Every structure is written in C-alpha cells, then in structure tokens.
Structure 1
C-alpha cells in the first residue's frame, strides 16, 4: 500500500464524508463548519456529531504529527475552538 493508512482513513472515513482538502484550509472557521456539516449529515457515525467531528480533527492533527507545519497546526487547533463554539461546547 503506497498511501499511509491514516491518510486513507482521513480521505475515506467510514463515519464522515469530508470535504476534499479541508484540513489544508487556512480558515479555522471554514474547517469547523465543514466538519460540523459532515458530522450532522452522516448516518454512519457511531457517536454524537460533536464528538465525531472533534475526533476526526484530533485524529488528523495527531497522525500528521511532525510532518504538519506549525502554522497549519495552529489553524487546526483554532478549528477545535471554533468547533466547540459551533456546537455550544465552549467549556469542553
């Protein structure tokens, strides 16, 4: 297999239909809105929409690890905050 398994999971998630290249965006709000949309419209997810969206974002950050540029990591961390706001979970 030429692709890493984590890339395959991100691109072909069984739980969420993700917007193509969404994690490459430099707009944390757009990332959060896209994840929220995907999580709420999925009928294959096993957890509530908030948890599914946050899990996918955290998974991507963790799997990218040191290959993730610091600037993009900051954007993705900000997307977590935006996701919390969108779901009314500011305290989580």
Structure 2
C-alpha cells in the first residue's frame, strides 16, 4: 500500500472545505472557480471568508502539486484564480 502525501490528505480532508470530486483536474478554469466558490460558501468549518478559503485551497494545491502538474493544467489552475476573483466580485490580477 502506498502512503499518501500529507498535502493530498489536506486537499481531500481539509477542515475548511469539502471539495467536489476531481475539482483540480477539470479543464475549465471557470468551472473550477465555481466549484470552489460553492464549497467555500457551503462550509460551516472554514475559519475565514469564503473567498479567502477558496483561494487558499487553490493556491495550496498549485503550490503542493506544482512539479507534478503538466504546464497545461498548471495554466488552467492559474486562470482559475482570476475566475475565482471574478466569481467573488473582485478584480482579476491578469
């Protein structure tokens, strides 16, 4: 049996968000952002605002999975950050 990395465990069992299955493997940045927004707004366990919780989870995943992501998926996830900002009524950094 292969031992999971702690970062995978955090992503799957975070105290702040219950993530939808395979959210970070999706191809559409807007879909990823909307999923994270739904998860953050529905969570009763998060310790900060829904926006901050969703962005933190996305950034955590990108940083921890970094070298294991292909360039295309890495770009999708980076684009999802701007979509998340838009979803919460904030200006994209783009």
TM-score range, shorter chain: over 0.9
Q: Deviations over 1:4-50 (max 9, x none)?
A: 00001101111100001110000101100000000001010000000
Alignment match, 1:41: 42
Could you tell me how far 1:68 is from its partner in structure 2?
0.9
Q: Following the alignment from structure 1 to structure 2, what is the Cα–Cα distance between the partners of residues 89 and 39?
A: 16
The alignment's TM-score, normalised by the length of structure 2, stands at: 0.94
Structure 2 CA distance, aligned partners of 1:20 and 1:41? 15
Q: CA RMSD in A?
A: 1.2
Long gaps (5+) in structure 2: none
SS where residue 46 of structure 2 aligns? coil
Partners of 2:32 and 2:43 in 1: CA distance:
17
Give the match for residue 23 of structure 2. Answer: 22
Q: Distance in 1 between the 2:8 and 2:92 partners?
A: 30
**Structure 2 CA distance for aligned equivalents of residues 43 and 51 of structure 1:** 14
Q: In structure 1, how many angstroms separate the alpha carbons of the residues matched to 2:82 and 2:10?
A: 23
Shift of 1:91: 5.3
Question: C-alpha deviations, 1:46-88, integer Å up to 9, x for none?
Answer: 0000000000000000000211111000000000000000101
Structure 1, unmatched stretches of 5+, are: none
3-state SS of 1:66 partner: helix
Distance in structure 2 (CA, Å) of the matches to 1:91 and 1:31: 15
